[in-house]
Amino acid sequence: QITLKESGPTLVRPTQTLTLTCTFSGFSLSTSGVGVGWIRQPPGKALEWLALTYWDDERRYSPPLKSRLSITKDTSKNQVVLTMTNMDPEDTATYFCARYFVPLKNFEYWGQGTLVTVSS
């Protein structure tokens, strides 16, 4: 059974750095064709892809946010960490991590999401 779960702070101050952890089970990020991505949804708005890391350590970032994002993986711990710098109230959103499967090119398994509020 594949599961993913996001963890991190629920409240972040403006200009601070957000660090979120995705802990997963039921698959390995060392398996060819597997990736883990981060997607967010601001309240009342659409889903937005942020970043993705592949089994081979290739990393991809949303171009508009690339300068603020970093994604890393710890295969031994089954974790993927997303950091976002210089947080703004507009970054208030529910942040999801999801498993990406290259052969089928989809995000098949998702975590439940974690709401992050940016406020002073």
Partner 1 sequence: QSVLTQPPSVSGAPGQRVTISCIGSSSNIGTGYDVNWYQKLPGAAPKLLIYGNTNRRSGVPDRFSGSKSGASASLAITGLQAEDEGEYYCQSYDMGLSWVFGGGTNLTVV
Which spans of this chain sit near partner 1 (rule: CB under 8 A)? Answer: 37, 39, 41, 46-49, 52, 60-63, 96, 98, 104-108, 110-113
Q: CA geometry: angle at 62 spanning 60 and 67, to 5°?
A: 90
47: number of Cβ within 10 Å? 12
Among the listed residues 82, 76, 103, the one whose alpha carbon sits nearest the alpha carbon of residue 8: 82
Q: How far is the CB of 17 from partner 1 (least distance, A)?
A: 23
Residues 6 or more apart in contact with residue 9 via CB below 8 angstroms: 18, 19, 116
Looking at beta carbons only, is 20 or 39 nearer to partner 1? 39
Nearer to partner 1, 32 or 58 (CB): 58
Rounded least distance, CB 74 to partner 1, Å = 23
Which of 12/50 has CB closer to partner 1?
A: 50
We find the least distance from the C-beta atom of residue 111 to partner 1, in angstroms, to be 6
Residue 14 or 42: the one with the smaller Cβ distance to partner 1 is 42
For residue 77, the 8-state DSSP code is: T
Q: Which two tokens stand for residue 38?
A: 């981060």
CB-based contact 80:16 (threshold 8 Å): no
Q: How far is the CB of 27 from partner 1 (least distance, A)?
A: 15
